[in-house]
């Protein structure tokens, strides 16, 4: 009991909650929520009963509860439970679906358990971004992609497949990102620029560029950061000049793309190429 941790984070950008349970032994009696729950098991084995169906859930399994799906669960392996989930209000889900279909309808997810599903990886990525307070642009992009995937593989809704528009608007987005990379950019602003829905913008841009709008933006920022570091500008100043929220934000993206931290990269030019 002493090692149990329960954290809840309300994300003001997505208007959704991120829950994390670690080391939990508690049995949860039959109950339901008036919102969607999208979660996955990190550690532990549990017996779940949902809508009269029995499941044994293990690490990597994705759980999806529609509003008012009655469910209960308890540990069956004598161990503890590590679990992450995102709680999404019906109004928020409805807005996301409107971006995709142009209709304000709610999906009904068919299966409550997706065994060893790859969605767990995308869900963990979004959960971490929410709890770490990352950029709203990035979180919204990840959220729409997650909802899209769940609707496509596990719901009663169909997302219409529109033809990709001309590359002119995609190029307008690229030009805007390249010009305003140091500013705070939102998916809503890009949607207003093109007249496209956020979802259609994401799909069209990614299909034509081979990279999502947010990844494109961060790549531009890292490229500018490289040039400043080469000139001897300190990482903390570089972060401010290139649109990153802080030095740690810069370091995460820089290392993931370049393989070095900003400080290591800067030292290459101080030591004639030696790290």
What is the predicted pLDDT for the residue at 165? 61
**Which letter does DSSP use for residue 109 in this model?**
B
Detail the DSSP E strand segments found in the chain. Answer: 5-11, 16-24, 28-31, 36-43, 46-50, 53-57, 62-65, 71-75, 81-88, 113-114
pLDDT in tens, 149-167: 999 999 989 888 766 566 8
What is the predicted pLDDT for the residue at 53? 95
Residue with tokens 């990886």: 121
3-state secondary structure of 7: strand
Q: Which domains does the chain have, with CATH numbers?
A: 5-154 (2.60.120.10), 163-275 (1.10.10.60)
Residue-level pLDDT, tens digit, the chain, 275 residues: 558 999 999 999 999 999 999 999 999 999 999 999 999 999 999 999 999 999 999 999 999 999 999 999 998 878 899 999 999 999 999 999 999 988 989 999 999 999 999 999 999 999 999 998 888 999 999 999 999 999 999 998 988 876 656 688 999 999 999 999 999 999 999 999 999 999 999 999 999 999 999 999 999 999 999 999 999 999 999 999 999 988 999 999 999 999 999 999 998 887 665 54
Q: Name the β-bridge partners of 11.
A: 16
Q: How far apart are CA 212 and CA 137, in angstroms?
A: 11
pLDDT in tens, 45-95: 999 999 999 999 999 999 999 999 999 999 887 889 999 999 999 999 999
Q: Which of 253, 175, 256, 257 is nearest to 209 (CA)?
A: 175
Q: Name the β-bridge partners of 54.
A: 49
Mode of pairing for the β-strands spanning 71-75 and 28-31: antiparallel
For the chain, helix (H) and strand (E) counts, in that order, are 10, 10
What is the predicted pLDDT for the residue at 216? 96
Residue with tokens 């995308």: 122
């Amino acid at each position: 009991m002493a090692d149990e941790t329960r954290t809840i984070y309300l994300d003001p950008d997505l208007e959704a909650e991120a829950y994390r349970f670690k080391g939990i032994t508690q049995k949860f009696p039959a109950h339901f929520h008036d919102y969607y729950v999208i979660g996955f098991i990190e550690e532990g084995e549990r017996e779940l009963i949902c809508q009269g169906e029995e499941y044994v859930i293990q690490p990597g399994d994705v759980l999806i509860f529609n509003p008012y799906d009655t469910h209960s669960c308890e540990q069956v392996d004598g161990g503890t439970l590590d679990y992450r989930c995102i709680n999404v209000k019906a109004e928020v889900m409805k807005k996301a679906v409107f971006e995709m279909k142009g209709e304000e309808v709610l999906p009904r997810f068919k299966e409550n358990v997706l065994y060893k599903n790859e969605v767990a990886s995308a869900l963990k990525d979004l959960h971490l971004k929410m709890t770490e307070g990352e950029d709203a642009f990035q979180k919204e992009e990840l959220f729409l992609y997650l909802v899209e995937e769940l609707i496509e593989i596990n719901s009663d809704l169909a997302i219409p497949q529109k033809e990709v528009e001309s590359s002119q608007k995609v190029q307008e987005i690229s030009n805007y990102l390249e010009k305003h990379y140091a500013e705070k950019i939102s998916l809503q602003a890009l949607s207003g620029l093109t007249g496209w829905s956020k979802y259609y913008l994401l799909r069209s841009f990614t299909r034509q560029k081979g990279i999502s709008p947010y990844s494109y933006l961060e790549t531009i920022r890292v490229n500018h950061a490289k040039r400043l570091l080469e000139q001897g500008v300190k990482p903390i100043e570089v972060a401010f000049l290139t649109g990153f929220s802080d030095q740690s934000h810069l370091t995460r993206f820089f290392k993931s793309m370049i393989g070095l931290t900003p400080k290591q990269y800067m030292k290459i030019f101080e030591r004639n190429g030696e790290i």
